[in-house]
Amino acid sequence: MAAITLKNVTKTWGHVSAVSDINLDVPDGEFLVLLGPSGCGKSTLLRMLAGLETVSNGEIHLDDRRVDGLPPSARDMAFVFQSYALYPHMTVRRNITFPLIMRRHRWWFHIPIVGHLAKRAIERSPEVKDLVDRTAKVLALTEMLDRHPRTLSGGQRQRVALGRAMVRQPEVFLMDEPLSNLDAKLRTSMRAEITKLHREVGGTFVYVTHDQVEAMTMGTMIALMRKGVVQQFGRPRDIYTNPANTYVARFIGTPPMNLIKARIEEGQLKVGEAAFALPAHLSGISDEGRAEVLLGLRPESLTISPVGGAGTLAGEVGLVEHIGAESLVSVKLAHAETAHEEEEQEQSGVMATTPGYSELKVGDRIAVGVNLSDAVFFSTRTGERLTAKVPQLETVR
Amino acid sequence: MRSTFNWGHGLRLLAIVSLLAAAAFPIYWMLVTSLTPSADLFADTPHMLPDFSRIEVFEEVFREIPVATWLANSAIVATGTMVLSIALAILPAYTLSRFRFRGKGALGFTLFVTQMLPEAMLVVPLYAIFGQLALLDTLTGLILANTAFTVPVITWILKGAIDGVPIDVEEAARIDGCSRIDIVLSVVIPLVAPTLAAAGVIAFFHGWNEYVFAQTLVSSQSLQTASVGLAGFVGELSTPVHSVMAVGLIYTLPAVALYLVAQRYVVAGMTAGSVKG
Ligand SMILES: Nc1ncnc2c1ncn2[C@@H]1O[C@H](COP(=O)(O)OP(=O)(O)OP(=O)(O)O)[C@@H](O)[C@H]1O
Ligand SMILES: [Mg+2]
């Protein structure tokens, strides 16, 4: 049982601060994904958890035990590296057994022949051998136990790295982008494997990735980071439906949430020249009395039709991408502006998904229907999500 | 394929064969000379082939000259230099590779500078110091003097190899419960074993071939190394050339043998398979 609590955890290198003032409460048994773009401090945070990096400030607790300050081996956490970091001079079996050997290590194990025999005795002792054999079986490594890492494929090496973490039966598994060196197909299957591992082995997992699909599919909780600051911490579904700010909205989802400049006037939502009735969950919301808001709409809330009408936005097809089961259509709106900051172009279009193979051509004039039932509002000034005065009940649980 | 002669390949082969011949010829010539009677040595038509009927020359030198003692002393000095150099160099090399500390650059540079001092310049001060420490005329003293010369260069060589050990592997070992010294002994040393073998060969040869210190710091006949013994028995009034060559050959062969054994370990790619390259 291990709940992880981070209190004001901060890491600075000289004047650069890689991780600023992070507070997270991760209950036991959760699969937390640290998500964020390159350089946002995910690895640094994970390495501080592991004890590979000192904290500049703040506290890390494992249940009631304060662990920042303890060496890595005293924290009961296993770490899976992006690079696998196997011991190249040891067989797969010895790689997996190594943490168990180190538990019973004595200084004289370094004496050449005697030490060799002692380590082999541990490796062959029934309880160790059983555990290693069972682990190897779970990971389908039984056939490879006597081989060296250099003779294994990337996926097999990754499984050895997982095995080395598993045999320790730790309370916490830490993984730093363990799948990023694998090809897309293997990544999908290893993703399922790690999720299964979490279900079967238990323990608290902290998993670093910059891939939001991995985060959404694997995590039971996600902490989305940017420049060393946690932008949002919650359940994947919450983060998807109720992004805390425009950054989260644009980071999660492929394609990401559309942000359209809109105004609230006389109880109506105006986008360009079109006016919409405000749905119940959005009524009464405003940015401190200002009319301007950013309307956040997931691509699946937009429908494309050839003819316009009330409650639609006129536009022109900018790009069509066929993915197979559905098509992604980028639409340049005629009378409304988007607020997608990260794109290079000054004015990028909104993205809509349509089922099947779309016959639309670039330049087609179309109308975009809008379903506001899942829409959210963001402040044009701060980018924070605007909520009704009565706070919604969506804290983590 | 068959009809066209591959010129690049042929030239490379030729170059390799000539180099090999150039390297091996002196050894061959030592063999031939050692088996040639002194009278025939300066004949107009030199013998090109060894005359194995005179093989007892080798037995003779062992009987008449303390070759065995010389070789044993050389072996002690060389092995001692090798073991001590590596034992003393490994931790500084690890430190230079992995830690940041004040004066690191200066330390590295100083190690280099020691390589620029010629042995001959150090003989006198070393003699004085060794005199005080009662290390004169001992093989221990000789080992220490040689080690002082090999440690800097071996430190640098090992540092280079340790730089190549992925830091992730060390961190994995830390997570698995290794202390620093455990990491060095169970992870770093096995991974730099090829370089360690190469460094060992370098230190061994230094000790084996070294002459200036062996000549000055040791005076007893019974502690003479082969390099000194061999040199001492050239010259005087007459030089028994075939005996010199025989001893020379005996002196060379163990070194060659050691090299052949060691070079099997000097293979690249020890860290392959650890991390995604
Ligand atoms: N040893 C270090 N010294 C100085 N700065 C560092 C050090 N390690 C990391 N940083 C800085 O801290 C910031 C966060 O780095 P970190 O490795 O945690 O990013 P990341 O989120 O893991 O990125 P990626 O997805 O690329 O792995 C970066 O700006 C990086 O330059
Ligand atoms: Mg990283």
Task: Look up the pTM and report it.
Answer: 0.83
Residue-by-residue DSSP string for B34-56: HTS-HHHHT-SS---S--GGGTH
Q: Are A81 and A180 in contact (CB under 8 A)?
A: no
Give percent above pLDDT 70 in chain A: 95
pLDDT of residue B277: 41
> Residue B185 and residue A110: Cβ atoms within 8 Å?
yes
Q: Tens digits of per-residue pLDDT, B95-138?
A: 999 998 898 889 888 888 887 888 888 889 999 999 999 999 99
Q: Is the pLDDT of residue B72 over 80?
A: yes
pLDDT of residue B237: 57
- Whole-angstrom distance, CA of residue A373 vs CA of residue A389: 19
Residue A115: half-sphere exposure toward Cβ, Cα within 13 Å: 13
Q: Is the pLDDT of residue B226 over 70?
A: yes
pLDDT of residue B36: 81
Q: Kindly identify which residue of chain B lies nearest to residue A75, measuring between CA atoms.
A: B175
- Whole-angstrom distance, CA of residue A31 vs CA of residue A26: 9
> Residue B190 and residue A89: Cβ atoms within 8 Å?
yes
Q: Is this complex scored with an ipTM above 0.85?
A: no
| Distance from the alpha carbon of residue B245 to the mean position of ligand 2, in angstroms | 64
| Distance from the alpha carbon of residue A206 to the mean position of ligand 1, in angstroms | 17
pLDDT of residue A88: 92
For A259, B153, B163, the CA distances from B113, given in Å and listed in that order, are 65, 10, 21
pLDDT of residue B231: 84
Q: Kindly identify which residue of chain A lies nearest to residue B178, measuring between CA atoms.
A: A102
Please check whether residue B87 touches A, CB under 8 A.
Answer: no
When CB atoms are compared, the residue of B172, B178, B270 closest to A89 is B270
pLDDT of residue A397: 43
Q: Which of B144, B26, B2, B39 is nearest to B85 (CA)?
A: B144
Angle at B111 between CA B107 and CA B112, to 5 degrees: 120
pLDDT of residue B229: 86
| Distance from the alpha carbon of residue A71 to the mean position of ligand 1, in angstroms | 21
When comparing pLDDT for B268 and B195, which is higher? Answer: B195
* Atom 7 (ligand 1) nearest CA: A13
Q: Are A45 and A34 in contact (CB under 8 A)?
A: yes
Atom of ligand 1 nearest to the CA of A82: 27
Out of 3.40.50.800, 3.40.50.300, 3.40.718.10, 3.30.300.170, which CATH number does the structure's domain A4-241 have?
A: 3.40.50.300
pLDDT of residue A396: 46
Q: Is B270 helix (H, G, I), strand (E, B) or coil?
A: coil
Q: Tens digits of per-residue pLDDT, A255-310?
A: 899 999 998 888 888 888 888 888 888 887 877 778 889 999 999 999 988 877 77
pLDDT of residue B267: 57
> Both tokens of residue A121?
């005795």
Q: Which of B158, B162, B151, B152 is nearest to B85 (CA)?
A: B151
> Both tokens of residue A101?
């050997």
> Residue B271 and residue A52: Cβ atoms within 8 Å?
no
- When scoring B174, B176, B192, B275 by the number of chain A Cβ atoms within 10 A, the one with the most, hence best to mutate, is B176
Q: Tens digits of per-residue pLDDT, A342-383?
A: 655 555 788 998 888 888 888 888 999 999 888 999 998 888
If you average pLDDT over every residue of chain B, what do you get? 85
Ligand nearest to the CA of A35: 1
- Whole-angstrom distance, CA of residue A37 vs CA of residue A210: 5
Least-confidence region, from A250-254, A283-287, B30-34, B242-246 = A283-287
Place of tokens 């591959």: B6
Chain A nearest CA to B257, separation (Å): 24
* Architecture field, domain B56-271: Orthogonal Bundle (1.10)
Contacts of A181 in chain B (CB under 8 A): 276
Is residue A40 lining ligand 1, measured as CB closer than 6 Å?
yes
Q: Which of A42, A225, A231 to mutate to test the pocket of ligand 1 (most atoms within 8 A of CB)?
A: A42
Q: Kindly identify which residue of chain A lies nearest to residue B172, measuring between CA atoms.
A: A85
Q: Is the pLDDT of residue B63 over 70?
A: yes
Please check whether residue A151 touches B, CB under 8 A.
Answer: yes
Contacts of B166 in chain A (CB under 8 A): 83, 85
Q: State the DSSP H helix or E strand holding residue A216, giving kind and residue range, or none if neither.
A: helix A212-218
Q: Tens digits of per-residue pLDDT, B42-53?
A: 777 777 777 777
* Domain ranges, ordered by start, for chain A: 4-241, 256-396
Q: Are B62 and B34 in contact (CB under 8 A)?
A: no
Residues of chain A with pLDDT under 50: 395-397
Q: Is the pLDDT of residue B5 over 80?
A: no
For A113, A305, A351, B34, B46, the CA distances from A365, given in Å and listed in that order, are 80, 10, 15, 100, 101
The dihedrals phi and psi of A322, each to the nearest 5 degrees, come to -100, 120
Is residue A13 lining ligand 1, measured as CB closer than 6 Å?
yes
Q: Which of A12, A13, A206, A210 to mutate to test the pocket of ligand 1 (most atoms within 8 A of CB)?
A: A13
- Whole-angstrom distance, CA of residue A209 vs CA of residue A296: 25
> Both tokens of residue A338?
């988007």
Nearby residues of B110 by Cβ (< 8 Å), 6 or more positions away: none
CATH no. for A256-396: 2.40.50.140
| Distance from the alpha carbon of residue A31 to the mean position of ligand 2, in angstroms | 18
Is residue A393 lining ligand 1, measured as CB closer than 6 Å?
no
Is residue A113 lining ligand 1, measured as CB closer than 6 Å?
no
My answer on whether omega of the bond before B118 falls inside 30° of 0, hence cis, is no
pLDDT of residue A163: 93
pLDDT of residue A200: 87
Q: Kindly identify which residue of chain B lies nearest to residue A108, measuring between CA atoms.
A: B182
Contacts of B161 in chain A (CB under 8 A): none
- When scoring B169, B175, B196 by the number of chain A Cβ atoms within 10 A, the one with the most, hence best to mutate, is B175
> Both tokens of residue B156?
């640098």
